[in-house]
């Protein structure tokens, strides 16, 4: 990977002011990608806040497209270095932390993945995708491609970083993917001092058949209530088996499809962060849309931590 420096401070220089690394912390290195848009500025501020909270080293990355004349690449990298250098002084969340800037030529998607690998980033922080006139045109955005491909947790930032996360919503579907996501969120300190709500959707399989058979509504309601108790017990056992039990956590076990449950609970509790895992897919399945995580990324206007199944254990 080729790095470029900006102004006299040098865009790749380490900031000399540092914070101490909390003992036992698993958030040691954060990578924040920026294209200098307002969306990216929010993600840089959040990354700085997280670095301050955990004592992690922060790398701020900007990619200059290299499919243009060399002279323009050189000009853009120098300008990018100046902008990044200015952010050191103008962004309050970047002051007094262990931070460095990197400007690299190449496609943003490839540069982000390559830099995350070379820096051994524990977390990749990015701004939300640009909203389209047609809301569900999502294929091809850089963050969508990174989320699909990254082996590391990705935090998509939608909101201003005013403070640490105080309300966290975690979507759990009784799978290794959701367990890994919750474990990663805890290890990366996203759950520290936060009110955590676990959302779980269940489907009473016999309900439709009972309606068709003319079963009285009272009996159907009793059946659904029993299924909710069963789903709640299954969820509790699942969390305990993965070492994820916490008496302070709240639970919402509701009859509905997963995306609808997540959206409804999020609208009611106004969480600062949603935690969700992605299921591993390969081949054409990685290209097609349709997973709950992708629906959430498109639709919800909150910060979202996406943890891939293949993520390295933190």
Nearest-Å Rg of the Cα atoms of the chain is 22
The average confidence (pLDDT) of the chain is 83
**200-252: per-residue pLDDT in tens?**
999 998 898 988 888 899 999 999 999 999 999 999 999 999 999 898 999 99
d(CA 170, CA 188): 14
CB count in 10 Å sphere of residue 43: 27
d(CA 132, CA 150): 24
Q: Are strands 303-308 and 154-157 parallel, antiparallel or unpaired?
A: antiparallel
List all residues 6 or more positions away from 223 whose beta carbon is below 8 Å from its beta carbon. 204, 206, 207, 210
**C-alpha separations of 37 from 43, 62, 127, 229, 259 in Å:** 10, 11, 9, 47, 29
At residue 89, does pLDDT exceed 90?
no
* Confidence (pLDDT) at 161: 82
**108-134: per-residue pLDDT in tens?**
999 999 999 999 999 999 998 655 544
CB count in 10 Å sphere of residue 215: 14
Structure confidence at residue 299 as a pLDDT band (50, 70, 90): confident
CB 170 within 8 A of CB 182: yes
d(CA 97, CA 57): 8
Domains of the chain: residue spans and CATH: 1-127 (3.40.50.620), 159-314 (3.40.50.620)
* Confidence (pLDDT) at 7: 32
d(CA 264, CA 187): 27
Q: Report the percent of the chain where pLDDT is more than 90.
A: 55
Whole-prediction pTM? 0.84
Give the residue with greater pLDDT, 194 vs 279.
194
> What torsion, rounded to 10 degrees, do the Cα atoms 112, 294, 172, 184 define?
0
* Confidence (pLDDT) at 133: 42
Structure confidence at residue 65 as a pLDDT band (50, 70, 90): confident
* Confidence (pLDDT) at 135: 43
* Confidence (pLDDT) at 130: 58
Q: Are strands 167-171 and 29-33 parallel, antiparallel or unpaired?
A: unpaired
How buried is residue 216: exposed, middle or buried, by Cβ count under 10 Å (0-12/13-18/19+)? Answer: exposed
* Confidence (pLDDT) at 77: 87
């Amino acid at each position: 990977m080729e790095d470029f420096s900006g102004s006299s401070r040098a865009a790749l220089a380490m900031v000399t002011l540092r914070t101490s690394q909390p003992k036992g912390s698993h958030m040691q290195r954060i990578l924040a990608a920026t294209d200098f848009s307002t969306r990216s500025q929010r993600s840089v501020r959040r990354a700085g806040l997280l670095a301050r909270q955990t004592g992690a080293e922060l790398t701020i990355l900007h990619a200059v497209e290299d499919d243009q004349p060399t002279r323009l690449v050189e000009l853009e990298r120098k300008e990018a270095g100046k902008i990044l250098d200015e952010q050191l002084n103008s962004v309050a969340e970047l002051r007094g932390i262990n931070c460095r800037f990197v400007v690299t030529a190449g496609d943003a998607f490839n540069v982000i993945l390559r830099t995350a690998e070379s820096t051994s980033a524990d977390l990749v922080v990015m701004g939300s995708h640009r909203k389209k006139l047609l809301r569900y045109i999502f294929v091809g955005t850089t963050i969508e491609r990174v989320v699909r491909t990254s082996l590391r947790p990705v935090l998509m930032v939608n909101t201003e970083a005013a403070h640490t996360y105080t309300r966290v919503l975690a979507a759990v579907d009784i799978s290794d993917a959701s367990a890994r996501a919750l474990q990663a969120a805890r290890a990366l300190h996203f759950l520290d001092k936060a009110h955590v709500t676990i959302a779980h959707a269940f489907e009473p399989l016999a309900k439709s058949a009972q309606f068709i058979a003319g079963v009285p509504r009272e009996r159907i309601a009793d059946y659904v209530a029993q299924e909710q108790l069963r789903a709640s017990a299954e969820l509790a056992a699942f969390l305990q088996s993965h070492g994820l039990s916490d008496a302070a956590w709240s639970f919402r076990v509701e009859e509905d499809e997963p995306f609808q449950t997540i959206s409804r609970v999020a609208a009611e509790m106004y969480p600062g962060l949603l935690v969700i895992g992605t299921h591993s897919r390969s081949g054409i399945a990685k290209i097609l849309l349709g997973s709950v995580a992708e629906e959430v990324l498109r639709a919800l206007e909150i910060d979202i931590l996406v943890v891939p199944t293949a993520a390295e254990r933190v």
